Amino acid sequence: MLSRLKDPSEKTLAVMLLAPAFALLLLIVVYPIGRLVHNSVFDVDKKGAFIGLRNYADVWQDPQFWNATWNTLLITLITVPGALVVGLGLAMLANLPFRRKWPVRLSLLLPWALPLSFAGLIFAWFFNTDYGVVNDVLQRLGLQGEPTSWLLKPGWAFAAICLTIIWKTSSFMALILLAGLQMIPRSLYEAAEVDGASRWQQFCQITIPMLMPSIVVALIFRTITALQTFDIPYTMTRGGPGEATETLAMLIHKHTIDYSNIGFGSTLAVCMFVISLVVTGFYLHHIGKNAT
């Protein structure tokens, strides 16, 4: 009887192998998204009454939503390029022919491995007005007179948060870019040196073009996490002063957890999901197309 059984075709075998992963994807991705959309159009506090797009209309007219969205986009626009530039510099430093490379590469892993909330607490202490390290160093160098209220003024608080996020995430960018740098053949640089190309010309004509696929991957992952920024602003300022540093993820947390407004919080989460899809689609269509 076993001899009558035929080997499955490649298509059947592919379906069999992918079925568990597809089922897991439905469970942990598709179902939560569907549940979010359901909660946004049904009043979960009134026995599931259908309310249509009422929550979306309320979100559209809510100034807190636009403030949090603007803060989130501004953090993304500042920290993603900043982390890319710093990460590229760290990756090129780690790619130098050191005799012992592990201390340099270990220094890249430590910020990335540090929990986000822990990093926020550390830098909240650094930027403290009375006993923070930053004010102490600036005063010792004679760069300021009175201590700066870093976390008590909107502009300074926003700058402190962005600097913290860049420090925390640049190591992640550096790890991805370091892997890309090690895939570039050394023979290309040797040929460029024979042709008389300078280091800057090699960087512009060889390193950046060959590194573009890694850059696109790093930008996509970093941008998605930047749009979901929560831990560092929450631990450093709680969204203050006022709502000057409140992000969209923090607003979702406030309505869902603090106010127990599940429907409105779900609507905000759907909006954040759509924004992430739009930004990721932009990367894949405009930047990713040119990188391949």
Query: Per-residue pLDDT tens for 121-145?
Result: 999 999 988 888 888 888 888 887 7
What is residue 148's DSSP assignment?
Answer: P
What is residue 204's DSSP assignment?
Answer: I
As given in the structure block, the two tokens for residue 228 are 């979901």
Q: Determine which of 21-30, 101-110, 153-162 has the lowest per-residue pLDDT on average.
A: 101-110
Q: Is residue 32 part of a domain?
A: no
* 42: β partners: 50
Average pLDDT, the chain: 86
Place of tokens 């910020």: 111
As given in the structure block, the two tokens for residue 20 are 């568990």
The pLDDT score that the predictor gives to residue 2 is 44
Q: Is residue 80 part of a domain?
A: yes
CA-CA distance, 260 to 4, in Å (whole number)? 61
Q: What is the dihedral of CA 116, 117, 123, 124, to 10 degrees?
A: 150
8 Å CB contact between 160 and 97: no
Model confidence, pTM = 0.87
Residue 87, class by beta-carbon neighbours within 10 Å (0-12 exposed, 13-18 middle, 19+ buried)? buried
Q: For residue 109, which of 176, 62, 160, 44 has the smallest C-alpha distance?
A: 176
Q: Give the largest Cα separation in the chain, rounded.
A: 90
Q: Is residue 245 part of a domain?
A: yes
Residue 3 reports pLDDT greater than 50? no
Q: Is residue 265 part of a domain?
A: yes
pLDDT tens-digit readout, 55-97? 899 999 999 999 999 999 999 999 999 999 999 998 988 888 7
Q: Determine which of 79-93, 160-174, 183-197 has the lowest per-residue pLDDT on average.
A: 183-197
Average pLDDT, integer, range 250-279: 90
* 50: β partners: 42
8 Å CB contact between 255 and 249: no
Q: How far is CA 119 from the centre of its chain?
A: 15
Q: For residue 58, which of 272, 288, 267 has the smallest C-alpha distance?
A: 267
CA-CA distance, 81 to 101, in Å (whole number)? 26
The pLDDT score that the predictor gives to residue 291 is 57
8 Å CB contact between 181 and 189: no
H or E element at residue 49: strand 49-50
Q: Is residue 256 part of a domain?
A: yes
Residue 186 reports pLDDT greater than 80? yes
8 Å CB contact between 166 and 79: yes
Total domains, the chain:
1
CA-CA distance, 267 to 78, in Å (whole number)? 26
Q: Is residue 58 part of a domain?
A: yes
Give me the CATH number covering residue 179: 1.10.3720.10
Rg (CA), the chain: 24
CA-CA distance, 220 to 212, in Å (whole number)? 12
User: What is the span of the domain harbouring residue 271?
Assistant: 40-291
Q: What Å distances lie between residue 263 and 35, 38, 53, 69, 257, CA to CA?
A: 11, 9, 11, 18, 12
As given in the structure block, the two tokens for residue 150 are 């870093």
Q: Is residue 14 part of a domain?
A: no
Q: Determine which of 36-40, 107-111, 176-180, 191-195 has the lowest per-residue pLDDT on average.
A: 107-111
Q: Is residue 10 part of a domain?
A: no
Q: Determine which of 4-8, 92-96, 214-218 has the lowest per-residue pLDDT on average.
A: 4-8
